[in-house]
């Protein structure tokens, strides 16, 4: 499940294979010793039954998309001739950042999206087209297509309830995104969403696991990091640009949020 507030990241090491393949009815594939690779699959037609080492049994069918991690141990039986797109790839485990990606990429069971948006198939087809043409530089382009596909997949794991909440508070989020260096008024944000102050705050925290002020402060820290790494601005200039009137308070706030003072963060990078 995706946390909307999570600034997650991951690094693809390699794409091993991208193909359009058909499993024959009754075919059995044994991965009881684990997969070794990540596999992202879109079922074009047919059915496959997966029996995992944990005893769980999952049947996938036309329109389903699912991720199998290297830790998955299973046997797969084709119960109805199945055509599917598959992408096998590897990730740099040391570069996986954020609870969202850890929850997805470190699981030992299938991550299944039943009947995701039709756009999911388009992402697979775009990647497959690049892989099969093999034009100059196709590996780089295929990597970019896989990043898009994985991001779309991860976002699609967000539960419907959370997506509905997100839609309700979107006007407030967009306002904060555009005015992160300014003071914000919770009643004003609530009015943008046509919600009571208390109900708005409840929904915002449920969606982002943070209050509106905490969300705004996170944006301030991200922008401050960018400015520090650019090397063109003093800490005082960054403090004022990010909405802090007191550079000393900004330095204390930044260290509390990142574990480093602004100067140490700049030198550490």
Q: Tell me the mean pLDDT in the region 127-144.
A: 96
Does position 115 have pLDDT exceeding 90, yes or no? no
Taking a C-beta distance cutoff of 8 angstroms, is the pair 76, 28 a contact? yes
Decide if 5 is inside a domain: no
Let me know whether 56 and 95 are in one domain. Answer: yes
Q: What is the DSSP letter of 24?
A: P
Taking a C-beta distance cutoff of 8 angstroms, is the pair 203, 195 a contact? yes
Read off the pLDDT band of 219 (50, 70, 90): very high
pLDDT per residue over 174-200, tens digit each?
999 999 999 999 999 999 999 999 999
Let me know whether 176 and 139 are in one domain. Answer: no
CA dihedral of 175, 176, 181, 182, whole degrees rounded to 10: 70
Please count the structural domains in the chain. 2
Let me know whether 148 and 167 are in one domain. Answer: no
Across the chain, what does the average pLDDT equal?
90
Read off the pLDDT band of 6 (50, 70, 90): low
Does position 1 have pLDDT exceeding 60, yes or no? no
pLDDT per residue over 23-75, tens digit each?
999 999 999 888 889 999 999 999 999 999 888 999 999 999 999 999 899 99
pTM here is 0.73
Decide if 74 is inside a domain: yes
User: What's residue 9's pLDDT?
Assistant: 82
Let me know whether 105 and 196 are in one domain. Answer: no
The boundaries of the domain holding residue 85 are: 12-156
Let me know whether 38 and 152 are in one domain. Answer: yes
Length of the chain: 269
Let me know whether 127 and 246 are in one domain. Answer: no
């Amino acid at each position: 499940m995706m946390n909307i507030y999570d600034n997650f990241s991951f690094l693809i090491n390699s794409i091993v294979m991208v193909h359009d393949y058909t499993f024959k009815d009754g075919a059995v594939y044994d991965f009881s010793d684990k997969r070794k690779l990540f596999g992202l699959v879109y079922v074009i037609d047919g059915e496959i039954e997966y029996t995992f080492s944990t005893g769980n049994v999952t049947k996938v069918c036309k329109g389903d998309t699912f991720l199998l991690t290297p830790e998955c141990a299973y046997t797969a039986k084709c119960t109805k001739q199945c055509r599917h797109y598959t992408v096998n790839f590897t990730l740099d485990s040391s570069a996986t950042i954020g609870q969202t990606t850890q929850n997805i990429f470190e699981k030992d069971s299938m991550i299944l999206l039943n009947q995701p948006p039709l756009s999911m198939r388009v992402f697979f087809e775009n990647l497959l087209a690049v892989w099969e043409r093999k034009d100059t530089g196709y590996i780089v382009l295929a990597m970019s297509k896989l990043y898009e596909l994985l991001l779309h997949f991860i976002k699609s794991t967000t539960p419907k309830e959370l997506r509905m909440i997100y839609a309700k508070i979107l006007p407030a989020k967009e306002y904060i995104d555009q005015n992160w260096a300014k003071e914000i008024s919770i009643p004003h944000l609530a009015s943008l969403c046509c919600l009571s102050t208390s109900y708005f705050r409840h929904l915002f925290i449920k969606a982002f696991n943070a209050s509106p002020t905490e969300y705004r402060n996170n944006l301030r820290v991200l922008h401050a990091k960018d400015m520090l790494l650019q090397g063109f601005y003093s800490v005082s200039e960054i403090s004022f640009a990010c909405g802090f009137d007191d550079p000393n308070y900004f330095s204390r706030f930044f260290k509390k949020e990142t574990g480093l003072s602004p100067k140490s963060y700049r030198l550490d990078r």
